[in-house]
Structures are given as structure tokens and as C-alpha cells.
Amino acid sequence: MSESDIQVAHIAKLARLQLTPEEEAEFQTEIEAILSYVDKLQNLNVDGVEPTAHATQITNVIRDDVSGKTQDREKTLANAPDVADEVLLKVPAVLGGAH
Amino acid sequence: MAKLSAKPVAGSIAGAAVQLATGDITAVALVEGIYSRYEEVDDEVKGYLQINKEKALVAAAESDARRAAGNTLSAYDGVPIAIKDNISVDGETCGCASKLLEGYTATYDATVVQKLKAQGFIPMGRTNMDEFAMGSSTENSAYQQTRNPANTDHVPGGSSGGSAAVVAAGEAIAALGSDTGGSIRQPAGFCGVVGLKPTYGRVSRFGLVAFASSLDQIGPVTHTVEDAAILLDMIAGKDQLDSTSIPDVECNLAASLKGADVKGMKVGLPKEFFEIDVLNDEVKAKVEAVRDQLEAAGAELVEVSLPNLEYAVSVYYVIATAEASSNLSRFDGIRYGARVEKTKDVKDIYYLTREAGFGDEVKRRIILGTYVLSSGYYDAYYLRAQKARTLIRQDFEAAFEQCDVILGPIAPAPAFKLGEISDPLQMYLSDIYTISVNLAGNCAISVPAGETESGLPVGVQFIGDSLQEEKILKAAQFVEQQQAQQGD
Amino acid sequence: MEYEAIIGLEVHVQANTATKMFCACPNNFGSEPNTNVCPICLGYPGVLPTPNREAINKTVLAGLMLNCEIPEFSKFDRKAYWYPDMPKNYQITQYDLPFCIDGKVLVEGKALTGELEPKYIGITRIHLEEDVGKSTHAGTYTGVDYNRAGVPLMEIVSEPDMRTADEAWAYLTALRQTMQYAGVGNCDMEKGQMRCDVNISVRPVGQKEFNTKTEIKNLNSIKSVHASIDYEIERQIEMLENNEEFKQQTRGWNEASQETYVMREKEDAHDYRYFPEPDLMPVVLTADKVAEIKEKMPETPAAKRARFVEELGLPAYDAQVLCLEKATADWYETAVATGADPKKVSNWIMTELLRELSDAGLSINECPITPENLGELLGLIDKKVINGRIAKEVFAEMFKTGDAPGKIVKDKGLEQVTDTSAISEFVIQAIDNNEKAVGEYLAGKETALNFLVGQVMRFSRGKANPNLAQEALKEELAKRG
């Protein structure tokens, strides 16, 4: 059973990658090959098996609500590619307003 | 080709500690020594992306002053150490060998760096790597091709190829690398040095630029097994800043190695390891030689089984790419790093910046990882891989009921030639011996076990159960001693 | 045809912790832009999140207050979402295993436009996530301030149980009240500490299935939630009547024109790609741990209202008004604890105190009068030291100066005059100066007496005891008659 019917163009959009047509074609072929190998997973019987999300089985790693050091704004702005009004990080206009 | 393998100034961390203590050498002289070797060979090795001699000299002079005043921070105060370009050092670049992070200056120390600095180690130089640690040859660096010091026509392995190469070429006493699917062990094996991947959670990941969060670990790349133990002792421990780090574990590995032997050690040999058809004969012979030496020294050999090994590559490339696709989404040219000029709206920032900033392998993995998490495919790929991961973990649990350590190859073959493997899948399949360890969260070490006829280093791997670093270090130390005797 | 609206709310409430959800930056509103940030909440390369205990405890407390179940096992997940104010381009949230599930909250009493029958609104879940930064749009560019990025945010998702704008108004009011009672969130909607999205559809009464819903965003007050629902119900009914086709829409609220408008016609096929957050370990909340949090649980607003009615004998309306804010209810109870009559205290708060506060633009916490002092004032009335009219004067002075009523009465010499000889002086003054009224009274017009009592009060500058004044007047007039 093959599960892979990947549309690289669509997935690249989800991942915010602007592929060239050449890249798109190349990745489509390569990733299909990888997926057809990965698809051997479909043969494995995993009924009743719990998924592993972490390599260790620790729980409740929680910190106390105590404030610590913040980063100097100069450093934040120095790393930013573009700055607005001397205090904000600047990006081109966000279309469509809020979330 | 050229052979540039060499011992560094003072030989090792332990050696440097002795010479610093006796006054035979100063920290400044160590830094100078490392730097002059760098000038001598790095044009060819290209292991460092950057090295800051002046800054290291200032730190070295401070260290020497502390020593003169009797205030050393530790026995290792003044020892320079190379750092892989994905581990954060305050005030230095941390570019992961990617164009996308050009212009980014780290504003904090990774926990491991903080710990090393507290012991007086001097971070000196950023080592080359596959972009965002994605690769097995360091050919995916956006900046330069690191070469294997044992034979410069060959790759150093990857992704910590820069760390392994600078150590092997004697232009670093030791280095830190990171291992997500073999990225410390395989380059160490290819270059003929020692590389240790600690148990997941033993070393804080805070400050390690994440590739696959549930698989990544920072570990040492060194000239000797003892040095690997020393460095792990320095960097291990629970970190409040890393929720996945394991609490309450003592780490006194260097001390435990003194006078240790392998008598009575149960060494597991997974039959599946030797059934892999691409396993190179010379590599197989080295593993068998080590096996025989162990037996001769009183170790007990046990056949074990890892029945789900054949699924490891599939499981790994689903889980690692899924996590990576998410981890790398923060690289968008908004808060730091390189942004493509002339973006007309915010969507351009994402699309154009990421298109220009990421290399092919990174894009390939982001696409794969995005796909396996996307609507309609999550259960068939990601969830299924997580379940298969459980089976792989259980395989190791069962094996470690029968043995103390598992012996095996690191890679099916020694270092390949630059440009030799271009098919991504073929490259992934070469990770078969290392990735299952990351999936299970166990520890493993790569130790040199001789050379091929053509002079390429071959390493063997010892895998230990969770937190059983002491056992794999003892086994590796035995191999190191055997090699030294053979070399005499 | 008759129609009914199906309304569900998604409410975000910032938890009022000292620090952010996953880093130690201060959780402060109103700081200079980009000063409450660190590599972690900026999503710098290599950082890791660590969850805030207080935020988790507060979420569980909120859940308990809203009658939720607290599952033993919870975890965090990542939600992919590209936006410049989202530093990692994924949000750490909870997907399938949130901290709280299956709750309910009672709505009843007076709502914005009418009276509500008591009704429970179901709460599907409460999960904990991180807030995003704040974008300021300035024409050709957008500026981002990350101070808010990473502030702990509880998302409370209701069942589609509401049918009217009043019910939604009452539900939101109850939620805000509950959060404030629990001390888990300040819920100032103007500061964005509480935000609400409305899901709404309309169907003919009797129809079982739901029609296509609309989501309303950008609602800045509980009042605009109410107004937008009323607007939307009317708009959707009109569409149904005209047989217009419904598309799933996200609409915004225009406060100026009091209308909703289309923000997005058809949602971009969102693919959030949720998966378990590998950087965070699961959270196990044992029964003991939950019990420990439960011990700190304050009385719910509904329980408090019921107690005020049953134990203190207040009318339901008084209880509703007093319990609207916990601080007011606490203030009230402290005043009653001085031994004052519960209904009289309620009257003073509802008629005098709340008005003064509102005129002065102060919250109850900033009230210059202490509840103990109001108790003392009522005591002075009871003991006839002052009368009701003087009491209002004293109250105004208390509000102005914060002084105790006893001190004000003493300093200003406002004690009620009960000394009969002093009162008869005022009586004589009143009679001498009001021949006409005296004549009328003596001619048999009883009501003229009230006027004369008023005159006595006037000459005494309000200090005379009105009962004594009346008796003395009658006595003196009898002499003259």
C-alpha cells in the first residue's frame, strides 16, 4: 500500500518555500523516491503500540513563576534586519490585518 | 590527496591539563599552537568557519593569570575547544553553516558553553557542518567543503564534519559536536577520532540550534576516550532551561575509567547489523577483530536481535524531518538573520528569504517533514513512525537485558569521496547503524579501530543503554589500548 | 417564520502571572516596546521553552471554578501558523489533551437588555497557550513589539449553547467575573487581557442541523459582542429570507458604524500541522494535586450570589450587582462584618458608593472609603448620633478625604442635637419666622407640621433629631393654640 501522493508545490507553500520550477520537479522525483522507501512502514504492524514522542519518560518539568533577565533592546534591534520607529521590528505591510 | 592527520599541541585535554599544571605550557601557548596549526592546514581542511585568535588569546591570558595567582577554575583552565556552528556562544556567530543566519550574532551562551567557560575552557572557533546539521558528509555547508584530514579527497562525514576534521588534523585539542542520527559518531569514525553521543537528556540542549528536538544531543569529539569522558563530565547534568534533561544523575566518568577492563563485560552483537548487504568487508573485518580482542580479554559475546532495525531509516526520516520542518519555521528573516531585499509584502519575506537562504537538502527535508505532518497524512506517517519508534526502543530494552554494550559498525563503509554520493536516499541509508540509537535515546561512542588498506580510518561503535556511558567508555578505552599496542 | 441563533464563544484570557508562559520575562502590560523580551520569547536559534507552574495552576483553578474536569494527563503541542508577531511561526498550545474539559457556567438575572431564566452554558475545554506579539500597521509597513509574545493565554471554548445576544453577554460577564474571582486574570478587554471570537449561525426554529456559521473577530468589549450578535442575527435572517447562499466567513466588527464586515470570504485552507511539542514533557495532574489547587478555590460568583440572597436576605438584584466584581462583594462583606444591617449596606453601596466611584472614575480597590468606615457611619445613624441627611453629607466628605465618619462628625460638629432645650430654641425660631404655616397648622392643616419640622432642621443646619423636633413643635404649638 502506498500512501504517498505528495504534491510538492502545495507542501512547499505550506512551508513558505518559493521553489523554482526546476527545484519543484527535482524535489518531486526525489521525495517520491524517499517516500516509496519510507512506505515500508505501512507493512509494520503497530496495532496497540503507544507512540513515542520523547526519548525519556519524564513528566511535570515545570519552572517557578520567577522573573529573570531580559535582553537589552539594543541587541534585539541590532540582530533585526529592519527596524521601525527605533523600537519596533519592521516588516512590510501585513495584508489582511489581524490574524 | 593529502594526509594531514596529526596530534594537536599537548596531545589531549588530559595532556594539556598536566602540562598546564607543571608549567610546561601556558594557555596562551596552547592557543598559539592551535592557531599556528590552523594556519598551516585549514586552507586545505577547511574545518573552521571562523576562528577568533585575539579573543581566545585574551581569555588565555586571563587563564594564565588565574593560574599564576593560584585561582584556576579547574584542572582544564586554559584549554581551547572548538565549537560546532550550531551551538550558541554569546557574542559570536551561530550560523549553522546556513546563508539564512548570516548577520546573526548570538546573545547568550548555550548551557554547555556556560559550563565549559565556568571550568576555564576557551571556546575557540566555529566548526563547519552540514547546513542545520542535515547531512552525512558536510557537503551541505553553504560555505565551504571540509575535507577528511586522513585523505583530503574524501569527506569528513557529517554533520559534525568540521569538528571531527579539526580534531583529526590537530587544529583543535577537542571539539563539541551534535548528534541527531549519527552526526558525531560517523564523522569521528571517518576521521579517526573519538566521538560520543550521550544518552538523550544527559546533556542540556539549551543553545543547540534544534534540528530534531527529540533526537538531538550535544557531545564531545576528542583524540582520546579519556578526553570524551572528561568533556562529558563537564557538560552533563540537569538544566532548568531544558525540560527534557534528565534529573539527578552523577557524572564522574573520567575517574571511573582509570584501570578499568572489559573482563566479564557482556558484549551484544545484533545479528541484523551483519546482514546489511551494503556492509563493506573491511569495515566488517575491523568489527570482528575488535570482537575477538574483547573475547580474548575476557568479555562475553552474546548474540542479540534488533528485529525492527530495517524500519529505523524510515522512522528516522519521518520523525526527524517532521520536527525539523517545525523547528526551522522560525527562520524567516524578521527577527534576525538575512532578509531578501525588496520584499513588497510580508509573504515575500517568508517565501523569498527561505528560498534564498536554505540549501537543497534543508528544503528537501522541510518539504518531507511538512508533508508527513500535513492534514490527512499525519496518522499514516508521523503517528505510525512514533509507534514504530516505540518498537525500536523496545528492541534495545530487550537486547540490554542480555548484554552490557552492543558492538557494531558506525557506517557501512569508510569515508567516501567528495561528491561520490548524490542521491539523497542512498545518503540516508548510510545512517542505518547510528540512527536507531537516537530513536531509542541511548548512548553510543565511536572509537578508531584501525585503517583500511588504502589508509582510511575505520571506527567501531559501542552502544549503551540509557545512562550507561561508563560501560561504553570502558569498552572504547579497551579498543583504544589495543590500537595503541598494535601501533607500537 | 421564527428563527433562533446558535452562538458559541472562543474566549482568550491572559493569565496574570509574574512571568511569561515559557520564559522568565515579566508579564507586564504597558512596558516600553521590545523590553520584556529574551532569546526564548523572540524564538532565537537554540532556545527551549520551560512551562510556568503558576500559569498551569491558574488554568486548573479557572477550570475548577467553571465546573470542569481536570484530566490526569495533559500535554503541549505545536500549531503551525505564519505571522510576523508569532516568533517561532508555531504556537505552543494544547491540541487533544487540554488541562480542563467539560465545564459549565450559570447565566441568570438581569442582562444587558432583558431578564434571563437561569441556564447553564457548556464549556468544551480550556487550554493553555502562548500569546503572540503586537503588530502596529502603518501603511506601507508593520512594526512588531514582542512584549506580549509568550504571555500565558487560556482559551476557553464554549459549547454552541447560547441563543441570544443577552445570553452571550451574560456568559462573557460570568466568565470575566469568574476569572477575576479566581484571581487568574484581570480580563481588561481594552488592554487585550480578554479577547472574544463569536461563532454564530441562524436556523428556523425546529430545524435540527446547523446552518453555515460566521466567525466575528476584533471585538473590544462585552458590549460590542452583544451588538455584533444582534446585528449578525438580523443580517443572517435577512439572508435566509432572501434565500441567499451562505459562505463560511470571518467578519470583523466596525465599532463606529455598529456593523460587521467581511474580513475573509473563504478561509485559506488552514493546515496547522499539530504535533506533540518535543521540547516539553507531559503534565500529570494527580487527584492530590488537583485537590491542593481546589483548596485555594474561592467561592464562585453564583455561590456568592445565592448566599447573599439566602443568608443575608438580599434581593436577587442586589446580589447580582454586588457580586459583579469580587472586589465589590468583598468590600460589601467586610462592611457587613462590622455588624451593620446587610440591606442598608447594600443600599449605600448601590446608591451612593458605586455612583461616587463611577463619577470619580475609580475602581472599588481605589475607593477612598474603607468598608469599616461605612459600617461605622451606619452605626452612627443607628445610634442616632447623626440622622440620614447628615449621613449623606458625612459620606461625601469621607469620599473626598478618606477620613473616618466619627472624626468628620466631631470636627464639623455634626452630632444630632438631642438636647431638648437646644431644640426648643430652633422650634421657637421656626415658629417666629413662619406665621403662615403656623396659622395653617392651627387651623387644622396637619401637613403644615412637616414644613415646620423642615424649618427646624434648617435652623439646626440639619443636626436636630427630627422626631424630637416634631414633638417639641407640637408641644410649643399647643401652647400657642
User: What is this model's ipTM?
Assistant: 0.96
C131 with C14: CB under 8 angstroms? yes
C249 with C264: CB under 8 angstroms? yes
On whether both C353 and C212 belong to a single domain, the answer is no
What is the C-alpha end-to-end distance of chain B, expressed in Å?
26
Cβ contact B388–A38 (<8 Å): no
Round the average pLDDT of chain C to a whole number and report it: 92
Structure confidence by residue, pLDDT tens digits, C7-22: 999 999 999 999 999 9
**In this complex, which of B317, B336, B352 lies closest to A79 when CB atoms are compared?**
B336
Alpha-carbon gap, residue B303 to C329, rounded angstroms: 74
Clarify whether B84 is annotated catalytic.
yes
- Alpha-carbon gap: A47 to the closest alpha carbon of chain C (Å): 20
Cβ contact B367–A17 (<8 Å): yes
Cβ contact B206–C80 (<8 Å): no
- Alpha-carbon gap: C274 to the closest alpha carbon of chain B (Å): 7
Question: Testing the interface with C: which of A87, A88, A94 to mutate, by most C Cβ within 10 A?
Answer: A88
Query: What was the pLDDT predicted at A1?
Result: 38
On whether both C85 and C129 belong to a single domain, the answer is yes
Chain C touched by B351 (CB under 8 Å):
no
Chain A touched by C53 (CB under 8 Å):
yes
Structure confidence by residue, pLDDT tens digits, C421-444: 888 888 888 888 888 888 888 888
Alpha-carbon gap, residue A38 to A51, rounded angstroms: 18
Contacts of C263 by beta carbon, 8 Å cutoff, 6+ apart = A96, A97, C217, C218, C249, C250, C251, C252
Chain A touched by B201 (CB under 8 Å):
yes
Cβ contact A63–C24 (<8 Å): yes
What cell was used for B61?
591570558
The DSSP code for B119 is T
B475 with B229: CB under 8 angstroms? no
> Domain A1-45's class?
mainly alpha
Alpha-carbon gap, residue B244 to C209, rounded angstroms: 46
On whether both C406 and C424 belong to a single domain, the answer is no
For chain A, which chains pass the contact test of at least 3 CB pairs under 8 Å?
A: B, C
C144 with A88: CB under 8 angstroms? yes
CA distances from B282 to B50, C110, C111 (A): 36, 86, 84
Query: What was the pLDDT predicted at C474?
Result: 87
B459 with B295: CB under 8 angstroms? no
Query: What was the pLDDT predicted at C466?
Result: 82
On whether both C321 and C342 belong to a single domain, the answer is yes
Cβ contact C89–B205 (<8 Å): no
Q: Helix C316-323 to helix C326-336 angle, to the nearest 10 degrees? A: 120
Q: Which of C412, C438, C470 is the last residue of a domain?
A: C412
What cell was used for C300?
464562585
Cβ contact A60–C284 (<8 Å): yes
Query: Which range of residues forms the domain containing residue C447?
Result: 420-480
Q: Does residue C294 form part of some domain?
A: no
Query: What was the pLDDT predicted at C458?
Result: 86
Cβ contact B363–A23 (<8 Å): yes
**In this complex, which of C143, C280, C284 lies closest to A84 when CB atoms are compared?**
C143
Cβ contact C19–A68 (<8 Å): yes
The DSSP code for B451 is E
What is the C-alpha end-to-end distance of chain C, expressed in Å?
76
Structure confidence by residue, pLDDT tens digits, C45-100: 999 999 999 999 999 999 999 999 999 999 999 999 999 999 999 999 999 999 99
- For the beta carbon of residue B65, count every other beta carbon within 10 angstroms: 11
CA-wise closest residue to B350 among A13, A97, C268: A13
On whether both C112 and C170 belong to a single domain, the answer is yes
On whether both C436 and C391 belong to a single domain, the answer is no
Structure confidence by residue, pLDDT tens digits, C206-258: 999 999 999 999 898 999 999 999 999 999 999 999 999 888 889 999 999 99
C61 with C296: CB under 8 angstroms? yes
Chain C touched by B256 (CB under 8 Å):
no
Question: Testing the interface with B: which of C34, C41, C48 to mutate, by most B Cβ within 10 A?
Answer: C48
Cβ contact B242–C48 (<8 Å): yes
For chain B, which chains pass the contact test of at least 3 CB pairs under 8 Å?
A: A, C
Question: Testing the interface with C: which of A57, A60, A83 to mutate, by most C Cβ within 10 A?
Answer: A60
Nearest CA in chain A to C137: A93
Query: What was the pLDDT predicted at B488?
Result: 60
Q: Does residue C293 form part of some domain?
A: no
Beta strand C152-158 pairing with B405-409: unpaired
**In this complex, which of B337, B370, B381 lies closest to A11 when CB atoms are compared?**
B370
Nearest CA in chain A to C250: A99
Cβ contact A50–B387 (<8 Å): yes
Chain C touched by A13 (CB under 8 Å):
no
C81 with C90: CB under 8 angstroms? yes
Active-site entry in B159, B163, B245, B446: B159
- 408-467 of C, contacting A, C-beta below 8 A: none
Alpha-carbon gap, residue C75 to B65, rounded angstroms: 50
CA distances from C251 to B128, B303, C143 (A): 50, 66, 24
Q: Interface of chain C against chain B, CB under 8 Å?
A: 39, 42-51, 78, 80, 82, 84, 87-90, 142, 144, 146, 271, 273-275, 278-281
Query: What was the pLDDT predicted at A98?
Result: 46
Residues on chain C touching A95 (C-beta within 8 angstroms): none
B47 with B165: CB under 8 angstroms? yes
Alpha-carbon gap, residue C157 to C66, rounded angstroms: 12
- Alpha-carbon gap: B20 to the closest alpha carbon of chain A (Å): 36
Domain ranges for chain A, please list them: 1-45
Alpha-carbon gap, residue B187 to B64, rounded angstroms: 33
Split at pLDDT 50, 70, 90, the class of C446 is: confident
Query: What was the pLDDT predicted at B382?
Result: 97
**In this complex, which of C142, C217, C284 lies closest to A93 when CB atoms are compared?**
C142
Split at pLDDT 50, 70, 90, the class of C349 is: very high
- In this structure, the dihedral spanned by the alpha carbons of residues C50, C53, C59 and C62, taken in order and rounded to 10 degrees, is -170
Structure confidence by residue, pLDDT tens digits, C174-187: 999 999 999 999 99
Query: What was the pLDDT predicted at C375?
Result: 94
Query: What was the pLDDT predicted at B190?
Result: 98
Alpha-carbon gap, residue B67 to B74, rounded angstroms: 10
What cell was used for C41?
520569547
On whether both C363 and C235 belong to a single domain, the answer is no
**pLDDT over threshold 60, residue C302:** yes
Element (H, E) at C5: strand C3-14
Residues on chain C touching B373 (C-beta within 8 angstroms): 80, 273-275
CATH architecture of B13-268+401-487: Alpha-Beta Complex (3.90)
For chain C, which chains pass the contact test of at least 3 CB pairs under 8 Å?
A: A, B
Q: Does residue C425 form part of some domain?
A: yes
Residues on chain C touching B208 (C-beta within 8 angstroms): 46
Split at pLDDT 50, 70, 90, the class of C268 is: low
Cβ contact C45–B101 (<8 Å): yes
Domain ranges for chain B, please list them: 13-268+401-487
Backbone angles phi, psi at A6, to 5 degrees: -65, 135
The percent of residues in chain C predicted with pLDDT above 70, rounded, is: 99
- CATH number (domain holding residue C463): 1.10.10.410
* Residue type, position A41, single letter: L
Contacts of C6 by beta carbon, 8 Å cutoff, 6+ apart = C160, C162, C163, C200, C201, C202, C203, C210, C211, C213
**In this complex, which of C43, C48, C84 lies closest to B206 when CB atoms are compared?**
C48
On whether both C313 and C271 belong to a single domain, the answer is no
On whether both C209 and C225 belong to a single domain, the answer is yes
**pLDDT over threshold 50, residue A99:** no
On whether both C407 and C428 belong to a single domain, the answer is no
Active-site entry in B46, B84, B115, B286: B84
Residue range C144-159: mean pLDDT, rounded: 98
Chain C touched by B207 (CB under 8 Å):
yes
Residues on chain B touching A34 (C-beta within 8 angstroms): 317, 368, 424-425, 428
B142 with B97: CB under 8 angstroms? yes
Cβ contact A16–B107 (<8 Å): no
- 19-38 of C, contacting A, C-beta below 8 A: 19, 23-26, 32-38
Q: Tell me whether the omega of the peptide bond preceding residue B159 falls within 30 degrees of 0, making it cis.
A: yes
pLDDT in tens, chain B (488 residues): 899 999 999 999 999 999 999 999 999 999 999 999 999 999 999 999 999 999 999 999 999 999 999 999 999 999 999 999 999 999 999 999 999 999 999 999 999 999 999 999 999 999 999 999 999 999 999 999 999 999 999 999 999 999 999 999 999 999 999 999 999 999 999 999 999 999 999 999 999 999 999 999 999 999 999 999 999 999 999 999 999 999 988 889 999 999 999 999 999 999 999 999 899 999 999 999 999 999 999 999 999 999 999 999 999 999 999 999 999 999 999 999 988 877 778 888 899 999 999 999 999 999 999 999 999 999 999 999 999 999 999 999 999 999 999 999 999 999 999 999 999 999 999 999 999 999 999 999 999 999 999 999 999 999 999 999 999 999 999 999 999 998 76
Residues on chain C touching B96 (C-beta within 8 angstroms): 45
Residue range C138-165: mean pLDDT, rounded: 95
Alpha-carbon gap, residue B465 to B463, rounded angstroms: 7
Clarify whether B159 is annotated catalytic.
yes
Q: Tell me whether the omega of the peptide bond preceding residue B163 falls within 30 degrees of 0, making it cis.
A: no
**In this complex, which of B317, B374, B466 lies closest to A11 when CB atoms are compared?**
B374
**pLDDT over threshold 90, residue C264:** no
Total number of domains in chain C: 3
Question: Testing the interface with B: which of C56, C136, C279, C283 to mutate, by most B Cβ within 10 A?
Answer: C279
CA-wise closest residue to B97 among B169, B26, B33, B146: B146
On whether both C88 and C161 belong to a single domain, the answer is yes
Active-site entry in B5, B160, B163, B183: B183
Alpha-carbon gap, residue C18 to C24, rounded angstroms: 9
On whether both C22 and C162 belong to a single domain, the answer is yes
C216 with C232: CB under 8 angstroms? yes
Nearest CA in chain C to B110: C46
C-alpha torsion sign, points B179, B182, B184, B187: negative
B298 with B261: CB under 8 angstroms? yes
